[in-house]
Structure 1
Amino acid sequence: MPINTRKAAFITAIAASALLLSSCAGSSPSADPTDVDPEGEIVTREISWLLSRPADGGVITAMEQIADEYAQENPGFALNLITTPDRPSYIQKYETLAAANKLPELFDTDATPFAQKLAGQGRMVDIDVLLEDLDLADEYREAAVNYQRFDDGSLYMVPFEFQLEFFWYNSALFADAGVDVPATLDDFPEMCEALRAEGVTPIALDGQDQWPLERYMAYYPFRMAGPEYIQELKTGDASFSDPAGQAAAEWLYDLGQAGCFQEGFSSTGYADAQALFTSGRAAVYNIGTWELGNLATETLDPTVRDSIDYFTLPTIENAVTADNEYVTPSGIGMAVNSKTYDPLVRDFLAFALERYPAVYSATGALSPTTGAKTTVPADATDLYTRAVEQADEVGEAIAMPWDTQLDPATNTRLQQELTLLVQGDITPDEFVETMDATLKENTDD
């Protein structure tokens, strides 16, 4: 099936599931989302978790270990992991099951408008209440929990990760080109031109997966208008033609004109983009701390290892967000189905959430809680420890990834238009006009 046809089918399926959700949601009564300590005996059985995570990733590995430990104490228990790592396919499955009222006991979701609709219908357990009842609320990093909150401040997802997104850079290539770490976002085009003049790719970009370029779209509005801009944009209360959106479009266009990204970036995949940077052929790489094992240990090519450093999201003139506020995601969250919530689910979650931080942080990852100390690998460079310590210094405002905020149809069109904008195939004004029309069409729906 051609790519465009698959995307059209996917969008149609999502629209259909959303309609079905609204029509069938009231067909069966919901449990009380705040009744987090239901009465009754614990009867062991298999429970399921609908996941959108790498099957061999740290979260699943840790939870499998914890589930095995729980099963040893509670014979007859099993945790069935229903894994769909591909995010678009996962969303389609998740929304279709939600529409049919067939979601399992646990399921992954971002804090999207669709998820908020589910919560509003009483179909998700109130996690604020659950964590308080389990005496765990104070254990979580504020930024990790806030990333999972809906725009109204309510919390219906549990975080299992915590990441910081940095601009990793090669200081030797910077020195050769006579450039400094950019103080502001507006310094990027000049930085790129200087690096290009030295025959170096300025910024390695995974354009194939599209979300990395969408991160760049989020940066200028976050500094200029704060997190409120995307909150209002996704509901149609803001537009791409607003100053923050227009400035972002012009900045992305300037990045393209300055040759910031590698030639053919739109067809470059994740591994190839990273290889550009780790081989010393690109000077900058924007990625999160989930890559610490590759960027801050002795596995990194020794010819570049001593030159690698990082900087956080630069500011702009008259920024409304602080320097220590940037993209600090806690990943996709786990929701708890209120309709299948019972003493067993509660007991397992109490066990798992208490045990998880120690198991997960032992893998070298940043825990979403503050009490668990990350085990820094023996072969780590100084950057590893520095990045881990920086997790305790992040600010309150979060630059939310737009792909987790916008509706699927608008998001798909945005990703397509961003590529055209950076390639110079369309102007900033054309980009803004197209995206405002797309946004209006989809928010009206």
Structure 2
Amino acid sequence: MKSYEVNFDGLVGSTHNYGGLSYGNVASQSNSQQSSNPKEAALQGLAKMKALMDMGFQQGVLAPQERPDVAALRRLGFSGTDAQVIERAAKEAMPLLVASCSASSMWVANAATVSPSADTADGRVHFTAANLNCKYHRSIEHPTTSRVLGAMFANQQHFAHHAALPAVAQFGDEGAANHTRFCREYGEAGVEFFVFGRSAFDNRFPAPQKYPARQTLEASQAVARLHGLRDEGVVYAQQNPNVIDQGVFHNDVIAVGNGEVLFYHEDAFLETDKMLAELQGKLAKVGGNFQSVCVPRSAVTVDDAVRSYLFNSQLLSRPDGSMLLIVPQECQANERVWAYLQSLTSSGGLIREVKVFDLKQSMQNGGGPACLRLRVALNETELAAVNPGVIMTAPLYGSLTAWVEKHYRDRLSETDLADPQLLLECRTALDELTQILKLGAVYPFQIN
């Protein structure tokens, strides 16, 4: 039976703005308060989805969330009609309104952790929504994320869904941004690689000093238990706290893996040699041949990696076994990074081709190609059980492009977030989107 790695890209929401909400994310903070272009952001993301589909890769789409999140503002004491809640929040607590308007759900690498059926005890694909409790504006996402994933992967014979972990610091979970799976074939048993920034209960693990470590070891272990993973099919590794303090807020900013290959920066991890040996040994036991590509700091500094998002790329398998790297335009603009990529692809090694995409609207808010996609390994039967409305096709691309052109603004500033009309525009757009994607009622305004 054939198997695939399907990339489900996040559709950028209509309130995409530069709120500078993510402490530790250099791009997010440095572009704070600039005017954004939600329409351009959504079209850039759709263009990437369409391009990958045209290249022969399986591609899906994951819907955005309702914003501003009026229900969240009500829980914080704002009352009255929806318009009054927004107006009062703008007057009394603008930072809370900005947070409630964040379109950060576009970065669906943080939506959940996914384990394919070949790895799990019950032979189903398992999803655990990420609690994202390190940042308030992201912590409010997981209830809707769970409903959307449930509508996409509804067949209980093939799919299992778990609620987010307890929303406390000890179980900080940032989803697939800190999770990679290595395998010979997507439908075969593999090794799931969990990267954590700190331990909540074991002080033997060093912690960063400047920026928060968002993923805990304990959260990763809990997800592995929920998914029924075998001990011999799991490797845990600690992110280097020094690179977290340089702006590497997730592992997918400093490393990316696919198939049997890990592409990583020399400074990405602690105890790197031990980690690589464990990955190699465990993957060999299920018939795999683990390989790694280390980018030396002498060629690309951590600062280069953070500014270009070299590692926040998509590493994709070609039919001939070679690898394709999808990178943002910023890699081409960085002289050292681009020189490294040219030497990499001309060396005849594992990564043979690089394709560049313009994702400037997302990049300025701190998310590159890897942030925008959630990877789900599926066999043919499981793929057939996925809600067909979310699988990208040429007609769906046309419908979504027209939908964006109809509903999205081409300029959004912080002052625009105080306009109650923005909520009405968002709800009108999402109501239509759920019909396009055949999701049913997944948003609070549709349910309540």
TM-score bin, normalised by smaller chain:
under 0.3
Structure with max Cα Rg:
1
Higher helix share: 1
| TM norm structure 2 | 0.25
| TM norm structure 1 | 0.25
